[in-house]
């Protein structure tokens, strides 16, 4: 489904507001930064801010919603003759390419999240949402629910490891690191 002009504008505005929020949270501290300050920095009204984001925490994690939808759709719409593992793997590597463009923002966000236990819980919940999105995409392909959940959890675990290494400065780009982690998985499972 092609994105409309209004959807593109909304997505770009969400990205800009989120970016400004992350910078403010890093500069001033998460607790010390109000949503009013974020709205002012992004040049939007407070009501617009809350039309774009569910809550203050969502300012940090809301951009992933677009990526979740992209991953779910990529798995569900992969060629019918592609095995489930190949479909979910391909979708994850494609999303890793999109995530790679957000490296500086993610590094700053990780710094903010590290200092706030409630945000760490929200980050963990986001990973479960990733698993759900991938499993949903696999389910749309007719993969049994338990198999879909298992495949999704494996891919998300590999993504977590690749992302952590990439953010820590491990050489290589994120899609390549994810591909390497996914390639190691069968060998590790046989060991």
Q: What is the pLDDT of residues 33-43, one digit of tens each?
A: 999 999 999 99
Whole-number Å distance between alpha carbons of 102 and 180 = 20
| pLDDT value of position 83 | 94
pLDDT band at 132, cuts 50/70/90?
Answer: very high
Residue ranges and CATH numbers for the domains of the chain are 1-59 (1.10.10.60), 61-190 (1.10.357.10)
- pTM of this prediction? 0.85
| pLDDT value of position 164 | 94
Contact 62, 53 (CB under 8 A): yes
* Residue 43: DSSP 8-state: T
**Is the pLDDT assigned to residue 1 strictly greater than 70?**
no
Compute the average pLDDT of residues 144-150: 96
């Amino acid at each position: 489904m092609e994105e409309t002009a209004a959807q593109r504008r909304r997505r770009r505005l969400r990205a800009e507001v989120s970016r400004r929020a992350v910078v403010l949270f890093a500069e001033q501290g998460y607790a010390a930064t109000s949503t009013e300050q974020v709205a002012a920095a992004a040049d939007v009204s407070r009501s617009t801010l809350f039309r774009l984001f569910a809550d203050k925490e969502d300012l940090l994690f809301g951009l992933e919603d677009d990526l979740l939808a992209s991953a779910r759709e990529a798995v569900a719409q992969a060629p019918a003759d592609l095995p489930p593992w190949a479909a979910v793997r391909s979708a994850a590597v494609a999303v890793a390419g999109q995530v790679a463009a957000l490296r500086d923002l993610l590094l700053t966000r990780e710094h903010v999240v590290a200092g706030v236990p409630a945000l760490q819980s929200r980050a963990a919940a986001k990973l479960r949402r990733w698993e759900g999105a991938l499993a949903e995409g696999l389910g749309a392909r007719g993969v049994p629910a338990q198999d879909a959940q298992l495949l999704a959890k494996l891919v998300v675990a590999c993504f977590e490891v690749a992302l952590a290494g990439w953010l820590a400065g491990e050489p290589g780009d994120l899609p390549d690191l994810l591909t390497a982690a996914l390639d190691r998985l069968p060998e590790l499972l046989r060991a």
